[in-house]
Amino acid sequence: MEKETQLPWLYELYLLGQSQLLRETPAIVQQQILQHIIRGFGADTGSLALCDTEDCFEMTIVAGTGLPENTVGSSVKCEESLLGWVMRHGEPVMLVGDAAKDARFSNLKLHSHKERVGCSMCWPLKLEKRMLGALCVNRAEIRAPFTHADLEQGTLLVNLISIVIENMKLHIAQQEAHRLALQSREHLEQILSALDNVVWSITPDTFETLFLNPAAENVYGRSIAEFMADSNLWFQTVHPDDRKRVGQCMPEILEKGVLDIEYRIMRPDGEVRWIHDHIHAIFGENGEPVSLNGLGTDITQSREAEIKLKKSHAELQEAYAKLQDIQSQLLQSEKMASIGQLAAGVAHEINNPIGYVYSNLGSLQKYLDEVFVVLDVYEKFEPLLASHAEAINVVRAVKRKADLGFLREDVAALMGESREGITRVKKIVQDLKDFSHVGSEEEWQQADLHQGIDSTLNIVNNEIKYKAEVKKEYGDIPDIECLPPQLNQVFMNLLVNAAHAIEDRGTILIRTGSANEMVWVEVSDTGKGISPENLSRIFDPFFTTKPVGTGTGLGLSVSYSIIQKHHGSINVASEVGKGTTFRIALPVKQPEPGPETKTML
């Protein structure tokens, strides 16, 4: 190669190594490079082999001319080929004539050529100490052979050829890496586009959107372009009630590097959705945050299901509490019914002997009166016995011993007290019967509340008389339509509770009145009162402030249910240390029962 043609030849070789075709058809460019080298050395054929790996145990013939078919693209073991021998020994070789006759290559597998080769030059391709491959050019037998000057000139040029080959390999590798990166990016974008989750990346200081997948448009109801254009849009979409909490979590993300948070968003159409964000902070080499990357999941359905489950659970708990309340009231009603039946039975059994005693006392009084009349007659005729001194002395001795005057007075007093006592017992028995009203539990009837209160007071007198003085301020009230035994039970609970609330000695005041077709009853005591924290709970089933074993916590709960059943109201006012007042209001006439009321009753 002439010196004046070397520079243009090298420049053209360099351009071939930078060809854009390397990306799509590297084999064509490698063939063009080999042909350019063949022309430059005035050769007829040639071959180019490049190492497959860094250790270069095998090479692939990437380009060739004048070789048998299927040779280009095949692999050769370095220890079995001429090009491999050149590369392994790291020195150029010139061959004249048949290479098979050369003792150095007698054990190698040599490629045959379409035309007989008269002379060949081979060079190892290396960069510094790293082997790249080998290059061989050939002249036909009919042409003049290469000279040693050609070999030396080629040795100088082959270093430049090695650089071009290396650049070509790097360019191919770079193009392949770029292709794989693009392929990976496209594959990643396909995956991200197919996700229902929102994948996002923002700057930690300005909240500028760096990346956002299409799922955001379905979840947030806004386009990706809107998020890219407005860095404040992220916080604007957060529900107003959650913005402060979301904003306060930013320092925690930067401190921990990872955070899970749930919050609500507002879509443009007004729909509220729940979002779960899993956030990672990416930090640079200087430790400063570079980006915040998150995976957002729409958890609206699961949240709504959770809310419904909690609501169902609360409703179930409420229903269970109501069932317990009803069961307790039923037990209390059965208990009261049993007590009422027992009381009625006892009253009936007592009533008969009391009737006998009361009747007999009347007869006895009559008999005694008659006896005393007879005695009066005897005393009237006692002076006629004066002539019988012994007899009159006996009679007078008996009279003195019997103290007949005292007997007259004391018998009258004893009979009066006995008749008063038996009358009171009869009254108690009648009150007990009135209180129980056995057989009329569910019979609505007109009743006098004053009579019910008085009967109840007589029944619970033993609970009250040692603790309080009962005062009555009865107003003028009409009879009302009610279930008397149940209201008597309410009066009993209020009166007994009032007595229990008085620690030493106090007063229980019962007031009644009427207004606007309603009758009211107030029961006030001067007891210790109810604390504010307990006042709202006193009608709850099983709630009691009494010591364990002295109260069931059902009295006021049952009373509340009874008043509700009568379409009335029961309220309480209390002051600690001063006392408590319960006020009951009841309609004079019950409303006409509708379908729901009939079912309830």
**Same domain membership, residue 585 and residue 480:** yes
- Classified as helix, coil or strand, 180 is helix
**Same domain membership, residue 527 and residue 466:** yes
Amino acid 579 reads G
**Same domain membership, residue 504 and residue 419:** no
pLDDT for residue 423: 74
Mean model confidence pLDDT for the chain: 82
- Classified as helix, coil or strand, 97 is coil
Flag whether 108 is in a domain.
Answer: yes
User: pLDDT over 70 for what percent of the chain?
Assistant: 84
**Same domain membership, residue 431 and residue 348:** yes
Which band of pLDDT confidence, cut at 50, 70 and 90, is reported for residue 303?
confident
Report the distance separating Cα 504 and Cα 500, nearest Å: 10
pLDDT for residue 548: 44
Q: Higher model confidence: residue 169 or residue 133?
A: 133
Say how many C-beta atoms besides its own lie within 10 A of residue 119's C-beta. 21
**Same domain membership, residue 153 and residue 22:** yes
pLDDT at 180 > cutoff 60: yes
Flag whether 183 is in a domain.
Answer: no
Q: How far is CA 360 from CA 353, 356, 357, 365, 562, in A?
A: 10, 6, 5, 8, 43
Total structural domains in the chain? 4
Flag whether 304 is in a domain.
Answer: no
pLDDT for residue 440: 47
| CATH code for the domain in which residue 120 is found | 3.30.450.40
Flag whether 316 is in a domain.
Answer: no
Say how many C-beta atoms besides its own lie within 10 A of residue 548's C-beta. 6
Residues with Cβ < 8 Å from 46, sequence gap 6 or more? 34, 37, 38, 64, 65, 66, 135, 136, 137, 138
pLDDT at 599 > cutoff 50: no
Flag whether 480 is in a domain.
Answer: yes
Strands (E), 156-229: 198-202, 209-212
- Among the candidates 436, 471, 503, a domain finishes at 436
Flag whether 315 is in a domain.
Answer: no
**Same domain membership, residue 365 and residue 288:** no
pLDDT for residue 549: 44
- Among the candidates 436, 458, 479, a domain finishes at 436
CA angle at 271 for the pair 265 and 274, rounded to the nearest 5°: 40
Amino acid 523 reads V
Q: Check if the beta carbon of residue 401 is closer than 8 Å to that of residue 307.
A: no
Flag whether 569 is in a domain.
Answer: yes
- Classified as helix, coil or strand, 77 is strand
**Same domain membership, residue 19 and residue 143:** yes
DSSP string covering 554-585: -HHHHHHHHHHHTT-EEEEEEETTTEEEEEEE
- Classified as helix, coil or strand, 506 is strand
339-355 per-position pLDDT tens digit: 555 565 566 567 667 77
**Same domain membership, residue 269 and residue 139:** no
**Same domain membership, residue 266 and residue 377:** no
Which of 82-96, 221-235, 554-568: highest mean pLDDT? 221-235
Query: Token match 């692999």: residue?
Result: 75
pLDDT for residue 399: 73
Q: From the CA atom positions of the chain, what is the Rg in Å? A: 60
What is the span of the domain harbouring residue 518?
A: 445-600
pLDDT at 329 > cutoff 50: yes
pLDDT for residue 597: 45
| b/e code 416-453 from CB counts within 10 Å (16+ = b) | eeebeebeeebebbebbbbbbbbeeeeeeeebebbebb
pLDDT at 588 > cutoff 90: yes
pLDDT for residue 241: 94
